Chain A
């Protein structure tokens, strides 16, 4: 998918020229207020671009395109707290499937995130990390081509983050889903991504894109100690902080 765009009336994003490759894991890094969420919402078809073109598989995006699902940071309000975990995952499928098929697909998605034993619990009975996994499972149940994630681990503690990061990488390697992952955490961006784009602003623009040539599968301890990792991290850090006022 391809696009370039700007937004009005306060220009939130400008001169975005981004080409997301199929099955890549693209991470987007930036500080608060640069427009990361706006960018993701545009990609997800939730907010229209005021100028420029945004295409997905050759069609322009005016509304949430089929095959693209967004996972939000605020899992408390993105989940239906009054439905069970299973009920949340089946939500998007109920119009297409029913009965055993519905249940099986949902349980499959829950197994991918390791929550098959919590199917009958309610989200508010689960920890933050588990709730976020439910949201991911809900998205995966749709078997999407693209998963857009808006700082999904931003509100979680470091240990849960690490576990979920690895889970995402596993899902990425076992399915052919394309991931676009937004974060303010540079290390996370490098650890997860095939490419890292730096978003700077306001108005938000892509300052720099870096390739991450580190091999997969990756490891929380070893990968983070590799030369390439440290070099890229350094590079990103400099790129972001080259205007001394930019603070994450």
Chain B
């Protein structure tokens, strides 16, 4: 009980600046300032939107694109990463291409896709996947390349087939690094998903914010900003929980090896 109380108070102390700013904003707010509406106005606008029935569906759209893309890019990234990691010659041959693509800012892919594919449902997933696959490929390939030589010897001396060596030794030993790569991909996925919605106005949170901004509904803009913040926080935090549960079998310091 005491532990819970001290943890909560620790949390509240840490949030002090945030609450402080919000409180001050609320108090000194000149009535109906168009640029800086008070926090309670944000809340009200969100509630209104929710009651109008739109909000949940929009959130659902954004989250759906995000989830499918992360799943696809993880799958592709891991497979390609393993192939590259195990074949130094392929890695070398592909490296200029990979270097260019991994350094390319993800937003750049959006107009390319729009021009080539037009506005279609699959556009979103395709673009977000192509934007997020690179950090996963790189993290996987590096970890596979660095598989401990002793593990390779173990695979040989125990006469494991190539397939089993990859599935039971190479892949699990690279898993901590792969999870870190996916952790990097998540914020990219969020940003690119929102970007597409903002540019194409395809239904989602991004399109909601842009419409609100164009129609000068400032309280709504701030409210949706907070909403995005909360979603971002929950997605990142949720992933940390997933990561921790997968890694519970690993020795406590395993994830430090792959900084």
Interface residues in chain B, defined as those with a beta carbon under 8 Å from any beta carbon in chain A: 148, 150-151, 153-154, 156-161, 164, 168-169, 172-173, 175, 249-252, 254
Q: Give the CA-CA distance A78 to B252 in the complex, in Å.
A: 18
Q: Give the CA-CA distance A70 to B169 in the complex, in Å.
A: 17
Q: Give the CA-CA distance A94 to B249 in the complex, in Å.
A: 20
Interface residues in chain A, defined as those with a beta carbon under 8 Å from any beta carbon in chain B: 41, 44-46, 63-64, 66, 68-70, 72, 74, 77-78, 80-83, 91-92, 94-95, 122, 124, 138, 142
Q: Contact between B160 and A95 (Cβ–Cβ < 8 Å)?
A: yes
Q: Contact between B254 and A46 (Cβ–Cβ < 8 Å)?
A: no
Q: Give the CA-CA distance A41 to B153 in the complex, in Å.
A: 9
Who on chain A is nearest to B169 by CB? A80
Given known A82-B250, A124-B251, contact A69–B169 (CB-CB < 8 A): no
A77 in complex: contacting residue of B151, B157, B168, B249, CB < 8 Å = B151
Q: Contact between A91 and B160 (Cβ–Cβ < 8 Å)?
A: yes
Q: Contact between A70 and B249 (Cβ–Cβ < 8 Å)?
A: no
Q: Contact between B158 and A81 (Cβ–Cβ < 8 Å)?
A: no
Q: Contact between A46 and B153 (Cβ–Cβ < 8 Å)?
A: yes
Which residues of A are found within 8 Å of B173, using beta-carbon distances? 80, 82
Q: Contact between A138 and B158 (Cβ–Cβ < 8 Å)?
A: yes
Who on chain A is nearest to B249 by CB? A82
Q: Contact between A72 and B153 (Cβ–Cβ < 8 Å)?
A: yes
Q: Contact between B159 and A46 (Cβ–Cβ < 8 Å)?
A: no
Which residues of A are found within 8 Å of B157, using beta-carbon distances? 44-46, 64, 68-70
Q: Give the CA-CA distance A215 to B43 in the complex, in Å.
A: 88
Given known A82-B172, A124-B251, contact A92–B158 (CB-CB < 8 A): yes
Q: Give the CA-CA distance A138 to B159 in the complex, in Å.
A: 12
Max count, chain A CB within 10 A of own CB: residue among B153, B161, B173:
B153
Q: Give the CA-CA distance A24 to B108 in the complex, in Å.
A: 68
Closest 10 CB pairs of A and B: A124-B251, A92-B158, A70-B157, A77-B150, A77-B148, A82-B249, A64-B156, A78-B150, A82-B172, A81-B251
Q: Give the CA-CA distance A77 to B175 in the complex, in Å.
A: 15
Max count, chain B CB within 10 A of own CB: residue among A45, A66, A81, A138:
A81
Which residues of A are found within 8 Å of B169, using beta-carbon distances? 80
Q: Give the CA-CA distance A74 to B168 in the complex, in Å.
A: 19
Who on chain B is nearest to A75 by CB? B150
Q: Provide 28 A-B residue pairs closer than 8 Å at the C-beta atoms, listed in order of the A residue.
A: A45-B156, A45-B157, A46-B153, A46-B157, A64-B159, A66-B159, A68-B157, A69-B157, A70-B157, A72-B150, A77-B151, A78-B151, A78-B154, A81-B254, A82-B173, A82-B249, A82-B250, A83-B172, A91-B160, A91-B168, A92-B158, A92-B159, A94-B168, A95-B164, A122-B249, A124-B250, A124-B251, A138-B158
A92 in complex: contacting residue of B148, B160, B254, CB < 8 Å = B160
Given known A82-B172, A122-B249, contact A46–B160 (CB-CB < 8 A): no
Minimum distance in angstroms from B152 CB to a CB of chain A: 9
